[in-house]
Every structure is written in structure tokens, then in C-alpha cells.
Structure 1
């Protein structure tokens, strides 16, 4: 009995010391590096005396805030079936250069929608706390909101469907991008 207690205490001590030893929290601030003085660099100014660093920051902000523009129309795409036999299909409507409607689903070899397969969704829901009836509308709404497939966050429990959604949407919007 004493041996078991001793072993238990040693294991706990070892775990605690390894956790403390592996702590990467570094409270020391990294010293600031002085600005490099590159010959011919004019200290970050362009030939007209404009602050090049500020101009670069403004350009980056403009690129980040500008939304993608799409050509008006209806766009469709589908992927080859995945390893489980589900084929991703999307239909996208663009009006006034913006995505206004998205219809996404996955189909089996009999063209049955995954979102309507109750048994499949029951199993998916019990394993991941989400199913196609919840995940697909979230993906569709997120695309309409962000107007950019690259801005869509992966849905926990629906990683494969999120990846398929992004891939098929990118394929559908290839011809729509202006």
C-alpha cells in the first residue's frame, strides 16, 4: 500500500515538474530593435517625401475592407463524390455584384440529399452535436454575409462539409469574379 502511494506521489510530482518546465510563458519583453538604416532607403520616405510605411498600411487596409465583386447571374458547381460517396453541389445567385442566395447540399449516388437523410443526420448529430440541417444554412448565411469564401470559418463538427462547401463555392464563383 505504501508503495502505491509513493508511486502515485512520484508520478504526480513528475507531471507537475514537466508542466512547469515546459511552460513557454516568457515574461521578459523582447528589446526593441533600432530601425535599420539602409543606404539609399531615405528612412522610409519615397522620392516625393511621403511616408512609404504609412502608404503601405493604408493600401493593406483598403485591400482588406474592399469586398469582392461578382458578375450578376446564377452559378452552379459540383464536386466529384468524396470517399463516402457524397457529391457536393452549390447554386449561387448574384445580384448587384453581391451574392444574394446560396443553396448547398450533398447528394448520395441515388441523388438523395444529405440534409434530408434523417438516419445519417441523427448519427452525425449524436457524434458531433451538429448535422447537415444546421451546418449547411450556417455556411450559406456566412457566405452571403462575408461575400468571400476565404472568410468562412470552419464549423466545429462539420469540418469535411465546410471544406467541401468552400471548394465547390470557389469552383462556382470562378466565372463570377470580376
Structure 2
């Protein structure tokens, strides 16, 4: 039986991520390997592509595969599955790093919270750069207190007269 190829590890472009996001990813992976029952809370909506670090993606995939197959999840099993998938030969992971991230004594936090942080960071990281100017407008502070403008102060929308023309022409046709 041939081991699965590392899923796109050589073609993925490194994406910038701050240290807090990388720490959250490691904490989540540690939490999931220490408490595998938490995988069912995140496996439906957290995808490997949501992780900023390629090594973290390559650890999350074996966690999900072990969970899907119903196999026990512990530090050595995750290391074995990661090695079986060829992720240790790509260069972004080594044995010590996998064992450190999956150390059961390292974390016992809330998987949902850190999973949501990773998804939010992924959305920001993968957003089209042309949409970034919209971001400051969405973070504007509340408007200053003052008088409320009456509806007449806002411009009115022009009437939609053009919508009736095709229907009017249809009714005016003579039967053939």
C-alpha cells in the first residue's frame, strides 16, 4: 500500500501570519491531541487550509484522519500518521516538532475558541487585497451623538420607470 502524498505541501505558498496566530494554532493542535473528543467539535468546519503554517496543516490532517477512522489519538499515533503521510520528508516538520506540539501535558484549552480564532485569521489572510480598503470603514467608531437627520435629508432613489416598458409593449401587441 502506497502512503498518501503530502497534500500540496510543495506547491503551497507561504502566507504571512503573526506570532499570536501561530501560537493559537499550536495550542489548538495540542488541545486536540490531548483531548481527542474535542475533534468532533471542530472537524466539521475547521479545514487544514485554515492553518497559516504548513507544518500545522500537516499535523491537523493526520488528526482528522485518525478521528475519521475511529483510531486512538495520542502523541505517537499522530507522529506515526504524519510520517506515513510523508509530511516529515517535506521539511516543514520534524519528529521533535510534532512531539512538542502534540504533547498531552502542554494544553487543555477550549478547541472551539481557538478553532474560531484560526478560521477568522484565515479569512483575513486569504481575503482579496482589493477588499482591504473596506476594512477600516467597517471598524469605524460609533457616530458622534447629535441630531438625527430627517429622512428628507437623504437623496431619493430615482423611480424605476424602465421596468414597465417591456410589459407595456407586450400588452399593446396585436394578436397574430
Please state which band the TM-score falls in when normalised by the shorter chain.
under 0.3
More helix by share: 2
More strand by share: 1
Q: Which has the higher contact order (CA 8 A, sep 6+)?
A: 2
